[in-house]
Amino acid sequence: MLFAVVNSQDMEDMVTEWILKNELDGDEDRWEDEEWGFFDELSWKNINEEIFEKVEETGIETIIFSSNDSFKDFFNFAAKKSDIFFDKSGREITAEEWVGQVESSSDCNISICECSAND
């Protein structure tokens, strides 16, 4: 699953909480049992490595600032491919709301992460 947030640089807790509530019925043991985890890098990097040169990769999320030359590429990717969107407070929002928040901010960042069970 792909997650995107605007103006926040700490996705781990919000994504974990969302998965526990919406995918695991609140059962924290299932996180371990089903081997849920975050991708160290976005899988998209494999086919677009050149645009990842000046982004921050934390091992949980990829953070892109609006000043980055590749910001529009990441923005378009996240807007089209993300399954779940969050605002800066960690509240789930629609894709349209997320796009609006990004586009209305002259100086922002977006963070994108992937998380899934080990199928």
Question: What was the pLDDT predicted at 25?
Answer: 95
Question: What was the pLDDT predicted at 34?
Answer: 95
Question: What was the pLDDT predicted at 47?
Answer: 80
Domains of the chain, residue spans: 2-116
Question: What was the pLDDT predicted at 119?
Answer: 65
Question: What was the pLDDT predicted at 96?
Answer: 97
How far is residue 60 from each of residues 13, 63, 111, 115, measured CA to CA in Å?
11, 10, 10, 9
Question: What was the pLDDT predicted at 12?
Answer: 94
Q: Give me the average pLDDT of each 10-residue run along the chain (119 residues).
A: 91 96 95 94 83 88 93 93 94 96 92 91
Label residue 67 exposed, middle or buried (CB < 10 Å: 0-12, 13-18, 19+): exposed
